[in-house]
Structure 1
Amino acid sequence: MLNIQKEMKRLRWAVLPAAALAIASCQTNSMKETTETKVDSTFAPVETKPGNTAYKPAFEGQTRINGVKTATPLEVTVLTSDLKNPWGITPLPDGRFLVTEKAGTLRLVTTAGAISEPIAGVPAVDSDGQGGLLGIRTDPAFNENRMVYFVFSEKQGGAGNLTAVGKGKLSADDKRLEDVKVIYRATPAYKGRLHYGGRILFDPAGNLLVSTGERSDLATRPQAQDLKSGLGKIVRIDKDGKPVSGNPFAGRTDARPEIYSYGHRNVQGLALHPETGDLWETEFGPRGGDELNRIEAGKNYGWPVITYGIEYAGGKIGDSIQQKEGMEQPVYYWDPVLSPSGIAFYTGDRIPEWKNNLFIGGLSGSHIARIVIEQNKVKGEERLLENEKQRFRDVTMGTDGALYSVTDAGRLYKIDKK
């Protein structure tokens, strides 16, 4: 039965056109998740500081939900502190990890914390500002083809830079990427230093989901709403970088066929729910208004028209509205900000109370947020590793069922039961 369910999810992503995707999504959303976490609602919300705004949520539980606490005793281990500004981490089938470092190096790291020399063959990256070597994933058939897919910021001469997707084959001796190709570029290029998005994920059909930023500046923000621009989007492409035929805007002359969803600011978290198969993301708001969204094909997620945040200098954004017909509400938002980066659903058995919970690396929040989701609603929030005072850049599940996280300061953490 489990294999049949997995095959049905794969086919939903593989062949359905946009209209059918919407129907399938509705069917999926009505499913009762088979594993629920009992939430003790007596705990106060974890956020106690005043918000940047007095904006009202669209529905109860959209922000400052009740707190939860992990009952299982945890063992937190720093495996290494010697990485250099790591950005993305993904497990290999043998239990090791591939880790990207922002300046442009790719390394192998063992569960004992041993770090390899830089893997050769990575293209030149533009590491100025928020750019660099970003998200990374291995091919689902890595054991057979050893293919690696990654996102990076790429210079485009006088035009500026952009978010690009590359692929290459990890050599048999693990020392280099071979036959490296750039398969996708999120145009137009722009002379900026911010908001590249940069996360990458395989869907069940074996296609790539990639996030792009809207490059932050007032001049580029409107492109998040522009269906002819690659900025501020989640795109769905095949392994050669071509748009997937079942994408929601396929066949339209007024839209790019690779676009899966739009109206995004700077998505740095992508994950598929382990039971429903739904795509979830986290994205940075401005000052306030960081978001957790459940992504549906073809939907508009509002930036910069609607937001629960304000400008960093304190002014309003646009018409200062939080709701508009035709634009999706976040499932959850944070004010003050968490600065949510990489995310992962917990699918292991070592800590049963975490089953299907979402874990979010917090940068300015300096903790990992545990989010309990039931029926597509947030039911509880917990802060983990808050005393470590780290900027948690990415989170992943290891093949051993433990959680792992990399921080801007170069640490690799293992989080497991005692």
Structure 2
Amino acid sequence: MRETGRAATGHIAIYLLGVWLAVSGAAAVGVAEAQTSFADDFVPQPAYAGQTRAPLATQSPRLIFTTLTTDLFNPFGLQWLPDGRMLVTESVGRLRVVDSNGTLAEPIEGLPPIWAVGFNGLHDLALDPGFAENRHIYFAYAAPPEGSTIPGPEEDFAETARRLVARARLSEDETRLEDVEIIFEAMVRRLAFGPDGKLYMTTQAAQAQRANAQDMNHLGGKVLRTNPDGSIPEDNPWVGDDSIHDAVFANGLRDPSGAAFNPGTGELWTVEHGPRGGDELNIVRAGRNYGWPIITYGREYDEEPLGDGLTAMDGVEQPNYFWAPSIAPSSLMFYTADLIPHWTGNAFVTTLAGEHLARLELVGDRVVAEERLFVGNEQRLRTASQGPDGALYLLVAGEQGSVIRLTPKPVTNPLAE
């Protein structure tokens, strides 16, 4: 097991603390850092106060960043097995069990053919709410072209790869998948089961496909809602409207790369990877339009206004919060444990280009303060998840992708503060 962290230099107390930690065998301390400035002066006018650039949050307690493994290839999805071990997807097309010490089991057998190109391949993962009884898992992936089990040329990926969601049964010994069945076809980013037992899926409509987000018979740029077997719930908002796909729950999203249900309200929240600027935090409600690409707080990548340059429109939802410049959000979670009481009730957003973990303090539905953790480590964070031990776990993207555990630093030694 390797340890990682960034400690300040030139400070005697921190130096002595490092000596004490080394002697005691504890992990290195990673100093929680809040943002002190933003990357440029692009500040679109928000619709209301507090919609962007919230005040700095009260600094978190000192944290220990423990690297459990660096032997994962572009890890993406993380779920917790009942015994406290992790089930992790690697985009290259592997599904692994990782224990609390970072030991990786052999890849689980029985996955369907997966077409991995760059970061495309095997992506998000969800466990059935009844997993303890039925052992069902759900996963989103890219597959070879229709009628083939062999990937085609890499240059044909965008046109011919199939984007699928499958359900399978994890064997009792956790070595293979059984009864694999495709339950849905769409370019799914994240999977999440709601309190209603339904499966919610976020889908992408980025640059070339941006118009799909407003095409109600296209699945791109949406939140979709199905039963666990992929069938359509009768209470979906547009069931029976022939002009709208029955699976659509909400539309007008660009790239909702994180999704989580707020445990306090039971509502679905997403983080959306915007264009240049305009990354969003949204509360997704049935039948609502979230605006992409007709309204946005972002710009084209050449800095020109996007579309008509609108940031608001009647009948279109405002983001609950937005970031400009971009942070490239990649996942969302709510912290409910008491291991770090300072965090209880907060939302956490991992970032790719931003290379930090954003902690959002909430009052009701509003972001009232923000802190940026893990700053300066130069690592692209893919996914955050609360473990059964109350610690926060991070998946770091890359060919030597890692799992990092965040825990509070003990305060028993007076040199620690």
Give your verdict on TM over 0.5. yes
Contact 1:404 1:412 in 2 (8 A): yes
**1:326 offset after TM fit, Å?**
1.1
- Determine if the alignment matches structure 1 residue 160 to structure 2 residue 149: no
Please name the residue that 2:55 is paired with: 66
Q: 1:155 to 1:264 in 2, by over 3 A?
A: farther
Query: Could you tell me which of 187, 194, 201 is aligned with 1:210?
Result: 201
Q: Report matched runs for 1:224-303 at 5 Å.
A: 224-303=213-292
- The answer on 1:375 being equivalent to 2:364 is yes
Residue 212 of structure 2: SS of its match in structure 1?
A: helix
- Name the counterpart of 2:170: 170
SS at match of 1:387: coil
Query: Whole-Å Cα distance in 2 between the matches of residues 174 and 259 of structure 1?
Result: 34
* TM-score, scaled relative to structure 2: 0.84
Question: Which residues in structure 2 correspond to 1:2-151 (within 5 Å)?
Answer: 46=35, 48-51=37-40, 53-151=42-140
Q: Secondary structure at the match of 2:371?
A: strand
Alpha-carbon distance, 1:73 to partner: 3.2
Question: Is the 1:75–1:415 Cα contact (8 Å) retained in structure 2?
Answer: yes
DSSP 3-state at the match of 2:205: coil
Secondary structure class of the residue paired with 2:300: coil
SS at match of 2:376: helix
Flag the 1:354–1:413 CA change in 2: closer, same or farther, 3 A: same
The one-letter code matched in structure 2 to 1:165 is: V
The runs of 5 or more residues in structure 2 that have no matched partner are 1-32, 147-155, 410-417
Quote the residue 2:182 is aligned against.
Answer: 182
CA–CA separation in structure 2 for the residues paired with 1:132 and 1:216: 20
* 8 A contact 1:46–1:64 mirrored in 2: no
Question: Bigger shift: 45-54 or 143-152?
Answer: 45-54
User: Residue 380 of structure 2 is aligned with which of 387, 391, 394?
Assistant: 391
Contact 2:34/2:373 (8 A) holds in 1: no
Over 3 Å counting, the alpha-carbon distance change for 1:312 and 1:52 in structure 2 is farther
Higher alpha-carbon deviation: 68-77 or 391-400: 68-77
Match of 2:190 in 1: 199
Separation (CA, whole Å) in 2 of partners of 1:235 and 1:346: 25
**8 Å CA contact 2:165, 2:188 repeated in 1:** no
Give 1:118 deviation, angstroms: 1.1
2:350 maps to 1:365: no
Give the deviation of 1:54 after TM superposition: 4.2
Tell me by how many angstroms 1:293 deviates: 0.4
Displacement after TM superposition at 1:399 (Å): 1.0
**TM-superposition CA deviations, 1:123-164 (whole Å, max 9, x none):** 222322442111101111211111111111234448523432
Q: Give the total of aligned pairs.
A: 364
Shift of 1:69: 3.1
1:33 aligns to what? none
Q: Tell me what 2:392 maps to.
A: 403
Deviations 1:175-233 (A, max 9, x none): 111111110012xxxxxxxxx4410000112110011111531xx21110011011111
**Following the alignment from structure 2 to structure 1, what is the Cα–Cα distance between the partners of residues 162 and 206?**
9
Alpha-carbon distance in structure 2 between the residues aligned to 1:216 and 1:101? 25
Relative to structure 1, the CA distance from residue 346 to residue 237 in structure 2 (aligned partners, 3 Å threshold; closer, same or farther) is same
Instruction: Return the letter of the residue paired with 1:331.
Output: N
Q: Does 1:314 align with 2:311?
A: no
Q: Deviations over 1:222-280 (max 9, x none)?
A: 11001101111110011110111111111211111111110011111010111111110
What's 2:153 paired with? none
3-state secondary structure, aligned to 2:189? coil
Name the CA distance, whole Å, in 2 between partners of 1:142 and 1:52: 48
Larger Rg: 2
Q: Runs of 4 or more off by more than 4 Å in structure 1?
A: none
TM-score, normalised with respect to structure 1: 0.84
Cα distance in 1 between the residues matched to 2:256 and 2:43 = 25
CA distance in 2, matches of 1:123, 1:52: 47
Any stretches of 5+ residues in structure 1 without a counterpart?
1-43, 187-195
Is the Cα–Cα contact under 8 Å of residues 70 and 353 in structure 1 kept in the other structure?
no
Identity %: 40
Task: Give me the whole-angstrom Cα distance separating, in 2, the residues matched to 1:87 and 1:63.
Answer: 28
Query: Aligned letter for 1:306?
Result: I
- Counterpart Cα distance in 1 of 2:247 and 2:290: 17
Deviations 1:280-322 (A, max 9, x none): 0001001111110011111000001111111223222111111
Aligned amino acid, residue 128 of structure 1: V
1:65-121 Cα shifts (integer Å, max 9, x gaps):
101134433222111111111011111111001111011111010111001111111
**Matches of 1:338 and 1:215, distance apart in 2:** 16
User: Following the alignment from structure 2 to structure 1, what is the Cα–Cα distance between the partners of residues 144 and 58?
Assistant: 45
